[in-house]
């Protein structure tokens, strides 16, 4: 009986892995008003330690800066567990007229909130209607995020292991917004 259960689990995991490896090149995520999570089905498993993408922010990226502000995830990669080893490109409205792109990483279970000056940073100011080319992942022992030629690395050696999954858009954990947020990502070379 145990062998049959183990075989069934292996078959299910293999089927999930094979069915989700082909990410459509264009994915139109929507985080509905009042929600945190984007619309997505099964986890998207990755074959590589990096993910490359382009996107063009539209007017849905503009909202009033909340009192309990925080980062909203655009995309990234997690290894086995979202809050153990992961790196993300993130976005924040710092006031009513300005938004910024940044990054943060969970490193071996250490939250970026515990080690912010090493595991997080700000990269650039957002311009609605501009196209951004990005890449995020792990290379040469470090997590990194690249956006329009700017690259920042997390200066902690790490060797993430395990199943790699794509991180989906998410509105910051301490707030939601009162309109739908559209994140249209084109993935390259996955």
Note the pLDDT of residue 118. Answer: 92
The answer on pLDDT for 77 being more than 50 is: yes
Closest-CA residue to 147 (of 61, 96, 78, 76):
76
* Model pLDDT for residues 99-155, shown as the tens digit of each residue: 999 999 999 999 998 988 899 999 999 999 999 999 999 999 999 999 999 999 998
CA–CA gap between residue 48 and residue 70 (Å, rounded): 29
Structure-derived torsion over alpha carbons of residues 111, 116, 118, 119, reported in degrees to the nearest 10: 40
* Model pLDDT for residues 40-49, shown as the tens digit of each residue: 778 889 999 9
The answer on pLDDT for 15 being more than 80 is: no
């Amino acid at each position: 009986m145990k062998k049959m259960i183990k075989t069934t689990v292996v078959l299910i995991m293999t089927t999930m892995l094979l069915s989700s490896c082909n990410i459509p090149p264009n994915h139109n995520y929507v985080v509905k008003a009042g929600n945190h999570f984007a619309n997505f089905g099964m986890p998207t498993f990755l074959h590589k330690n990096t993910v490359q993408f382009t996107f063009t922010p539209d007017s849905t990226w503009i909202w009033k800066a909340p009192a309990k502000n925080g980062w909203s995830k655009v995309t990234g990669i997690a290894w086995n567990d979202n809050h153990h080893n992961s790196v993300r490109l993130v976005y924040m409205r710092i006031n009513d007229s300005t938004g910024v792109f940044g990054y943060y990483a969970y490193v071996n279970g250490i939250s970026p909130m515990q080690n912010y000056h090493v595991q997080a940073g700000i990269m650039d100011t957002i311009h609605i209607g501009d196209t951004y080319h990005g890449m995020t992942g792990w290379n040469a022992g470090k997590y990194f995020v690249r956006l329009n030629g700017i690259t920042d690395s997390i200066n902690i050696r790490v060797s993430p292991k395990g199943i790699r999954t794509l991180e989906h858009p998410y509105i910051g954990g301490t707030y939601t917004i009162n309109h739908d947020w559209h994140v249209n990502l084109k993935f390259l070379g996955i």
